[in-house]
Amino acid sequence: MVYNEGFDLNICAVGDISLAYYSNNNAICDDDVSKYLHNADLVLANMEYVVKDNYIRSEEICLVESPSSVKTLKDLGIEVVSLANNHIVDYGTEGLLCTKNTLEKYGIKYCGAGINEDEARKPVIIYKRGKTVAIFGRILDECFEEAAPIVARRDKFGAAKLTYEDIDECVRDYRSKADYMIMFVHWGMQLMNNHSNKMERVGEYLRKSGFDIVFGSHAHVIQGVSDAIYYGLGNFYFHPIPHNQFLGGLLYGPRYKRNRISEIAVVGLKDGKVGFSSLQMIYQDVDEIVKFLPNKYASKYVKNIFGKWSKFSLAYYQYEWRCRSVGLWLHNILVAVESYNTRTLLFLLTKGFVKLLIQIVNPKTLG
């Protein structure tokens, strides 16, 4: 497991990280993974929780932990995080400001969210080995049922919204100033290994417009990789979330293996060229430690990542997403029945059924 040789920069990116409910601040990965990350020239991640002093946990799925948890990210060698995700607004303006201040205290740069739209849209500018890298964070609002509370406005805090116009402006304003441009975008349907046509069109537009690399997050599982577009990196580390009203009481626990396997994207950059063939598979074991996936298992997942979805038609994409939506809904019902969770079952049979009908008839997320 070595980095690309002969490149000016070797950049690592990992997916979703949430240390909510993880209060001991111990290492979250073993020595092998830690050393691998520290050997990169630059490490990026999606920070999918906020930090706040004296917080009170909500009954909803709100991800928050104490500011001291950010030291764990620093110890991993993470230099830049994207805050462009749906949990950055979980604890209001106060949560966002505390998160920003804490990241600055630990020397970690951030992008993708701010107290208003202008601040949220600003990139992080990194200087490494004589090269300038501009890093942006965005959310694709069409992948969320209710994006309005998440998106930053002229006079409202939140995450920066990705549009074609926004892409054009980023390229116009920064392409001549940066040797390389990276977009970290929060998109996709959760627990779906496939990505939608809208995601593919936006990803290709980003590349053709001038972005060198696209890193994706939000689905919590691995998605396809094509032309330096990593549609979904999966969960790098998501501490199990106690939640009595959902799936029998636990989110992202050991029983959910799909969202405990992810990838470290390794990208080499040199003279405007991008090498993105190196991909390291990792998993979060039952002891809550991230480790490399043994090669015999990793090869199975790699076959389903590189280029697979480029062979499928528009009809297949939409059929696949609809079937997966139905399957996920039925799975949740089965778990609720097995756990005798009447409240969750009734919730799924009412609101969930209406949502299912909407997705079948005209699903907004399918693109």
Q: Give burial (CB, 10 Å; 0-12/13-18/19+) of 344.
A: buried
Task: Please give the structure tokens belonging to residue 360.
Answer: 């079948």
Place of tokens 């079948």: 360
Query: How many CB atoms lie under 10 A from the CB of residue 217?
Result: 33
Q: Which residue has the higher pLDDT, 359 or 94?
A: 94
Q: State the pLDDT at residue 363.
A: 46
Residue 232 to residue 188: CA distance in whole angstroms: 8
Report yes or no: 263 and 235 within 8 Å, Cβ to Cβ.
no
Report yes or no: 161 and 141 within 8 Å, Cβ to Cβ.
yes
**Pairing state between β 9-18 and 235-238:** parallel
Report yes or no: 119 and 84 within 8 Å, Cβ to Cβ.
no
* H or E element that contains 204: helix 197-209
Q: Is the pLDDT of residue 153 over 80?
A: yes
Q: Is the pLDDT of residue 247 over 50?
A: no
Identify which of 169, 315, 331, 321 has the alpha carbon closest to the alpha carbon of residue 248. Answer: 331
Query: DSSP readout, 163-177?
Result: -HHHHHHHHHHHTTT
β-strand partners of 135: 124, 182
Residue 132 to residue 117: CA distance in whole angstroms: 24
Among the ranges 54-58, 234-238, 311-315, which has the highest mean pLDDT value? 234-238
Residue range 73-108, pLDDT digits in tens: 999 999 999 999 989 998 899 999 999 999 999 999
Residue range 161-220, pLDDT digits in tens: 999 999 999 999 999 999 999 999 999 877 777 777 788 899 999 999 999 999 999 888
Q: State the pLDDT at residue 321.
A: 53
Q: How confident is the model at residue 366 (pLDDT cuts 50, 70, 90)?
A: very low
Round the average pLDDT of the chain to a whole number and report it. Answer: 81
Place of tokens 């441009």: 181
Q: Phi first, then psi: what are they for 49, rounded to 5°?
A: -160, 165
Type of residue found at 226: S
Q: Give burial (CB, 10 Å; 0-12/13-18/19+) of 310.
A: exposed
Residue 82 to residue 186: CA distance in whole angstroms: 9
Residue 139 to residue 222: CA distance in whole angstroms: 18
β-strand partners of 11: 42, 267
* H or E element that contains 98: helix 92-105
